[in-house]
Amino acid sequence: DSCKTCPRNRSPTSPGASKEEQCTTCAPGAEMTAGTTENPTCTLCSAGKEKGGANTHKCTECQAGSYAPKAGMAACLKCPRGKYSASSGQSKCEPCAPGSSSEEGATKCTPCGPGHFSAVWGAGSCATCSRHTFNPHEGK
């Protein structure tokens, strides 16, 4: 057997499509907003949204911990270390405040524990207090 071609003016949403419903009329990063499958009107997903994978025909909001900085994104990006997004549909990630840090894809920042600190905005990790110094507080 061989693979079948998607109908005219349509293409698979991702490699490995297994049924005709996975053939879409708009490119990744855009959704059909009007017209027909033979003559679609496609609109780019707005910032904070994505459209890419199999069985995806509409733009969806980025999940918390991720973002889409511009229109037309096929996939949301994970927030980098030191930043977070607490809710879905974000176009940017917020930096962690001094006294906290975060891992990639974070939905919140974690306070630095006793004996550790971060003195800058957007820290990806907390530093350990150096020799002859201490920090008895959490989140400082």
pLDDT digits (tens, 9 = 90+) for 6-17: 665 555 555 666
Residue 58 has pLDDT above 90, yes or no: no
Residue 1 has pLDDT above 80, yes or no: no
Q: Kindly write down the DSSP assignment for every residue of 70-104, as one continuous string.
A: STT-SSPEEPPTTEE--SSS-SS-EEPPTTEE--T
Q: Kindly write down the DSSP assignment for every residue of 105-124, as one continuous string.
A: TBSS-EEPPTTEE--STT-S
Q: What is the C-alpha to C-alpha distance for residues 66 and 88, in angstroms, rounded to an integer? A: 8
Per-residue pLDDT, averaged over 71-92, amounts to: 96
Tokens encoding 100: 């906290």
Residue-wise pLDDT tens digits, 23-56: 666 778 888 777 666 666 788 999 999 987 544 5
pLDDT of residue 114: 84
Residue 125 has pLDDT above 70, yes or no: yes
Q: What is the C-alpha to C-alpha distance for residues 106 and 69, in angstroms, rounded to an integer? A: 16
